[in-house]
């Protein structure tokens, strides 16, 4: 699972519970403090299958066709631009993979 714009990890821990011990959550954010907060949460919880990634979501560096599910929630501003992020998601999603997207209010 790929969580785009993970922020401080509000969805990250629940996402980890969805994928279970056999899956992985790649928590991507462009802000270093957000990644540090996620790292702190997963360390506190003893979670081993969440991988925080400090990166622009338009260039995750994840392998093509490696992700089953992508969350794109709660982002008012998307670093790299929505079009570029969607292009990256299209590359990393497996065929038949799912993009779960929330359009922010007022946009």
Domain ranges for the chain, please list them.
Answer: 2-101
What is the DSSP code (8-state) at residue 36? Answer: H
The model's pTM is 0.90
What pLDDT does 15 receive? 92
Per-residue confidence in pLDDT tens, the chain, 107 aa: 999 999 999 999 999 999 998 999 999 999 999 999 999 999 999 999 999 999 999 999 999 999 999 998 866 667 667 888 889 999 999 999 999 987 665 55
pLDDT the model gives residue 105: 58
CA dihedral defined by 26, 31, 33, 36, rounded to 10 degrees?
Answer: 20
The CATH number of domain 2-101 is 3.50.50.100: no
């Amino acid at each position: 699972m790929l969580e785009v714009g993970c922020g401080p990890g509000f969805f990250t821990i629940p996402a980890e519970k969805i994928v279970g011990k056999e899956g992985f959550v790649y928590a991507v954010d462009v802000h270093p403090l957000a990644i540090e907060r996620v790292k702190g949460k997963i360390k506190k919880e003893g979670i081993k299958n969440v991988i925080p990634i400090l990166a622009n979501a338009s260039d995750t560096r994840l392998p093509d066709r490696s992700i089953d599910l992508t969350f794109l929630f709660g982002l008012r501003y998307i670093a790299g631009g929505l079009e570029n992020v969607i292009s990256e998601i299209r590359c990393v999603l497996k065929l038949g993979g799912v993009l779960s997207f929330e359009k922010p209010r007022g946009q």
